[in-house]
Amino acid sequence: MAIRPYEERDWEGIWTIFRSIAAAGETYVYDRNISEERGREIWLGRSNDAVIIAGEAGVVVGTAKMGANFAGPGSHVAKASFMVSPQHEGQGIGRALAERVLGLATERGFSAMQFNAVVETNFRAVALWQQLGFTIVGTVPAAFAHPRHGDVGLHVMHKSLNTSRNGAAEEGG
Amino acid sequence: MAIRPYEERDWEGIWTIFRSIAAAGETYVYDRNISEERGREIWLGRSNDAVIIAGEAGVVVGTAKMGANFAGPGSHVAKASFMVSPQHEGQGIGRALAERVLGLATERGFSAMQFNAVVETNFRAVALWQQLGFTIVGTVPAAFAHPRHGDVGLHVMHKSLNTSRNGAAEEGG
């Protein structure tokens, strides 16, 4: 498996994964019948975000994006989103993407990474983030309408990064 | 003081407040030198959001916006933002705007309201939200670079609303 920056030819593969994950409605706060145009805007529309893919035998099996969570006085904290092909779950692809994303965020001088909306019944993801050092800052109750479990909570998760924000700024980051 | 829906003639007054609050850099995760175009996009750009203003003697002294915090399975939770003219703080304008916004969110069938980024040193706001029934779900540490206090936390705050989401849906809400 290769992890590398997004290229335009990857979009079709990303969209196949994106569409199926949105349609399942179990892990993301996207419209279940989201348009490709809107999906592209979400995944590729922020020009300062890093977008990477996991590829296997020329096929996109996972993708992630990372950028500032907020602007201005909140711009030193990164956020990230991850999608792995449902057919390729449990193979370490999410972990490999997350490790790369954490490395990119550190290189860019972000002082921390935050996830704003981790569905509490997405146990595999929650466990992975905790293994990678994220903690649950809090859980917004009943904030996610799960198609099988009803209204479940959304975790806000956070991990500090080993960066010197001021030092990074001096280097132009 | 009158609370009423936004009209196009109000933008100039909103922008005066918006610009000064962004420039102070103490309460919002906006660029401190944000452009008017971007400010307008943030405050007025989501067509389904409700935008209201507080007016006194024909002058805009405060404004608020309210809409869905997330899409799809997260669209039953509202979010809202508030701005009061620094020259008019402590006069109950924020409370009056908040009460109206909570009423609008209830009318529209939202099951709860969430604030994603309340600066923990914004004591007046935190106290007001708590008086209105919001609780602090969690605090993201050091997520806000305050110009005087250094890195301070951002509260995620939440309040359930007395709506029956399913009932509201049956009425078309």
- What is the structure's pLDDT at B173? 38
Tokens matching residue A74: 């909140």
User: How far, rounded to the nearest angstrom, does the alpha carbon of residue A21 sit from its chain's CA centroid?
Assistant: 13
Write down the ipTM of this complex: 0.92
Contact with chain B for residue A141, Cβ under 8 A = yes
CA distance A91 to A89: 6
Share of chain B above pLDDT 70, in %: 94
User: How far, rounded to the nearest angstrom, does the alpha carbon of residue A55 sit from its chain's CA centroid?
Assistant: 17
CA distance A70 to A79: 9
Q: Are A158 and A76 in contact (CB under 8 A)?
A: no
Tokens matching residue A114: 């935050």
**Contact yes or no for B32 and A138 at CB 8 A:** no
Q: Which residues pair with A65 in a beta bridge?
A: A51, A81
- Residue labelled with tokens 């078309």: B172
In this prediction, residue B166 has a pLDDT band, given cuts at 50, 70 and 90, of: very low
For B37, other C-beta atoms within 10 Å of its C-beta total: 8
With contacts defined as CB-CB under 8 Å, which chain A residues touch B70? 29, 117, 143
**Contact yes or no for A30 and B117 at CB 8 A:** no
* Contact map slice: B 88-117 vs A, CB within 8 A: 111-112, 114, 116-117
Q: Are B96 and B2 in contact (CB under 8 A)?
A: no
**Contact yes or no for B76 and A145 at CB 8 A:** yes
DSSP state of A91: S
**Contact yes or no for B74 and A25 at CB 8 A:** no
With contacts defined as CB-CB under 8 Å, which chain A residues touch B29? 70-75
In this prediction, residue B99 has a pLDDT band, given cuts at 50, 70 and 90, of: very high
Contact with chain A for residue B30, Cβ under 8 A = yes
Q: Where are the alpha helices (DSSP H) in chain A?
A: 11-24, 36-44, 93-107, 123-131, 165-170
Q: Are A91 and A103 in contact (CB under 8 A)?
A: no
CA atoms within 13 A on the CB side of A57: 0
In this prediction, residue A136 has a pLDDT band, given cuts at 50, 70 and 90, of: very high
In this prediction, residue B156 has a pLDDT band, given cuts at 50, 70 and 90, of: very high
Sign of CA dihedral A17, A19, A25, A30: positive
Q: Which residues pair with B17 in a beta bridge?
A: none
Does pTM surpass 0.90? yes
Q: Which residues touch A161 (CB under 8 Å, ≥6 apart)?
A: A78, A102, A105, A106, A110, A111, A112, A113
Find the CB nearest B111 among A72, A112, A142: A142
pLDDT at position A167 over 70: no
Window from A65-69, A77-81, A96-100, B163-167 with minimum mean pLDDT = B163-167
Q: Is A78 exposed, middle or buried (0-12, 13-18, 19+ CB in 10 A)?
A: buried
Contact with chain A for residue B31, Cβ under 8 A = yes
Q: Which residues pair with B157 in a beta bridge?
A: B115, B136
In this prediction, residue A1 has a pLDDT band, given cuts at 50, 70 and 90, of: confident
**Contact yes or no for B29 and A156 at CB 8 A:** no
